[in-house]
């Protein structure tokens, strides 16, 4: 067994395919529904928003989908990303567990998001799209699509959740550096944004609101622009599996294989990208893995949400997706993990959770920042607030191994660095972080407005 700390994959061994979990699921997830007819939505229903190539990836059941050469060339700027053995953290925790993490903070924008931003921009470019609207929570997705748009000559306009827009100005400047336009959401640009501002000028925004604004802007473009999403949908999660495909090869170098895989969950792209290829091996007869999604205590769609058809946005413009949801009308409390403040969850992850193929834990932001500081002191990397949830989940799993005297192998996805989030760390050090509060009454109120689906 290797004593190394860092495991690198040679560039010429980089995977040339994404993995499509649809090929191995024991049963398909419930299909998206047209919001008007409540019937299964077809490719034409998605055509106003997405290029047909991405729509066909969404419904494909092929196990492997080839990564286009232009995408692989751009991936080479940071991929393959490193796999680390967290030996100092293991020693600090005094655990018999072995802890590995796949580090996605080496990308141009410091997170895992370019893994899907680049192919989405490529497929839009292939179909002649000149402009893309999108939303972003903490700014990782918005800056990644801005980077990808610049690579392929596409104009990008982003609606950034207002609380994050104010907390993380450098993410906005990063988007501008890549040539994109960034608007606080809710904004005065869309009818839905104006309506919310008139109702409450201090509305902090949410991903559900920002999605609504981006979709409204896309629809009003008259076919000139398309819309792009950074999480939740199947093609997005599939693009992220470049990470897990690499990790399989790197774990072979270590001589280990994960017993436990941990990731943070807001819409689902971080956890899915790492674990889908491993879960695919399990579903084809391989070793069973304990998969843990870690979500914020104030927005716990897995642990407190209802598995039901719901809209992906607050204005209820999107197709209906069966997912674990807190209700599209739910406005999550403002916290520093902006990328996890989403009322719903990927319909693939929701389906896996419902089948018992994964589990979830909810954590408060104070305990997550405590875990992040512990990790940074031992491993020298300061995680993004979202990634701190995965760090907390991995530390908890390692301490559980310690209490039981079990030497299990833990693998988690460190989806980004916290270099643009130092104000959040300052608030933690100054004891200014509010503890997450789960507002059950607001969730129950939002769930009452769920669409009625037979």
pLDDT of residue 453: 87
Cα dist. 254→86, 247, 276 in Å? Answer: 13, 10, 20
How many folded domains does the chain comprise?
1
Using DSSP's 3-state secondary structure scheme, residue 349 falls into helix
Using DSSP's 3-state secondary structure scheme, residue 127 falls into coil
Q: What is the CA radius of gyration of the chain?
A: 20
Q: To the nearest whole number, what is the mean pLDDT of the chain?
A: 93
What is the domain extent for residue 249? Answer: 6-13+66-110+235-447
Evaluate whether residue 279 is within a structural domain: yes
Evaluate whether residue 58 is within a structural domain: no
From CA 352, how far away is CA 78, in angstroms rounded? 30
Would the pLDDT of 302 be above 90? yes
pLDDT of residue 337: 58
Question: What is the per-residue pLDDT across 247-259, written as a single tens digit (0 to 9) for each?
Answer: 999 999 999 999 9
The two structure tokens encoding residue 140: 């990782």
Evaluate whether residue 45 is within a structural domain: no
Residue 36 buriedness (CB in 10 A; 0-12 / 13-18 / 19+): exposed
From CA 77, how far away is CA 81, in angstroms rounded? 10
Question: What is the per-residue pLDDT across 71-80, written as a single tens digit (0 to 9) for each?
Answer: 999 999 999 9
Evaluate whether residue 191 is within a structural domain: no
Q: Which CATH number does the domain housing residue 378 bear?
A: 3.40.50.1100
User: Alpha helices, DSSP H only, in 222-329?
Assistant: 234-239, 241-254, 269-283, 301-304
Q: Closest Cα to residue 328, out of 306, 312, 348, 307?
A: 312
Q: How confident is the model at residue 303 (pLDDT cuts 50, 70, 90)?
A: very high
Worst-scoring range by mean pLDDT, 138-142, 148-152, 171-175, 328-332? Answer: 328-332
Evaluate whether residue 117 is within a structural domain: no
Q: How confident is the model at residue 93 (pLDDT cuts 50, 70, 90)?
A: very high
Pairing of strands 181-185, 225-228: unpaired
Worst-scoring range by mean pLDDT, 239-243, 335-339, 355-359? Answer: 335-339
From CA 51, how far away is CA 69, in angstroms rounded? 19
Instruction: List Cβ neighbours of 359 (8 Å cut-off, separation of 6 or more).
Output: 290, 291, 292, 293, 353
Evaluate whether residue 78 is within a structural domain: yes
Q: Closest Cα to residue 243, out of 267, 281, 278?
A: 278
Residue 448 buriedness (CB in 10 A; 0-12 / 13-18 / 19+): exposed
Evaluate whether residue 199 is within a structural domain: no
């Amino acid at each position: 067994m290797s004593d190394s700390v860092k495991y690198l994959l040679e560039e010429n061994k980089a995977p040339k395919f994404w993995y499509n979990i649809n090929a191995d699921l024991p049963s398909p997830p419930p299909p998206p529904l047209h919001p008007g007819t409540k019937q299964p939505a077809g490719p034409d229903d998605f055509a106003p928003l997405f290029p047909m190539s991405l729509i066909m990836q969404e419904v494909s059941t092929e196990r492997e989908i080839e990564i286009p050469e232009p995408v692989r060339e751009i991936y080479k700027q940071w991929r393959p990303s490193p796999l680390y053995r967290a030996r100092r953290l293991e020693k600090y925790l005094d655990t018999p567990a072995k802890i590995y993490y796949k580090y996605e903070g080496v990308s141009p924008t410091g997170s895992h998001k370019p893994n899907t931003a680049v192919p989405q921009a490529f497929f839009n470019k292939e179909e002649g799209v000149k402009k893309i609207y999108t939303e972003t929570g903490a700014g990782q997705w918005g800056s990644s699509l801005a980077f990808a748009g610049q690579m392929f000559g596409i104009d990008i306009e982003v609606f950034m959740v207002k609380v994050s827009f104010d907390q993380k100005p450098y993410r906005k400047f990063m988007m501008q550096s890549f040539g994109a336009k960034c608007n606080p959401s809710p904004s005065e640009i869309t009818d839905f944004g104006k309506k919310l501002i008139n109702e409450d000028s201090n509305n902090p925004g949410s991903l559900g609101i920002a999605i609504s604004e981006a979709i409204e802007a896309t629809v009003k473009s008259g076919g000139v622009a398309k819309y792009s999403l950074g999480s939740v949908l199947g093609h997005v999660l599939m693009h992220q599996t470049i990470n897990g495909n690499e990790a399989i090869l790197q774990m072979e170098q270590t001589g280990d294989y994960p017993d436990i895989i941990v990731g943070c969950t807001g819409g689902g792209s971080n956890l899915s990208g790492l674990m889908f290829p491993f879960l695919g091996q399990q579903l084809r007869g391989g070793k069973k893995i304990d998969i843990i999604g870690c979500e914020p205590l104030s927005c716990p769609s897995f642990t407190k949400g209802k598995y039901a058809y719901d809209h992906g946005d607050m204005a209820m413009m999107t197709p209906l997706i069966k997912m674990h949801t807190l209700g599209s009308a739910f406005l999550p409390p403002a916290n520093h993990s902006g990328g996890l403040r989403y009322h719903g969850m990927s319909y693939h992850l929701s389906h896996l959770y419902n089948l018992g193929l994964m589990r979830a834990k909810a954590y408060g932001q104070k305990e997550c920042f405590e875990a992040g500081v512990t990790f940074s002191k031992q491993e020298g990397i300061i995680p993004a607030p979202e990634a701190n949830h995965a760090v907390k989940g991995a530390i908890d799993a390692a301490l559980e191994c310690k209490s039981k005297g079990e030497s299990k192998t833990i693998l988690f996805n460190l989806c980004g660095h916290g270099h643009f989030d130092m104000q959040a760390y300052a608030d933690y050090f100054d004891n200014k972080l509010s503890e997450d509060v789960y507002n059950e009454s607001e969730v129950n109120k939002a769930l009452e407005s769920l669409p009625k689906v037979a």
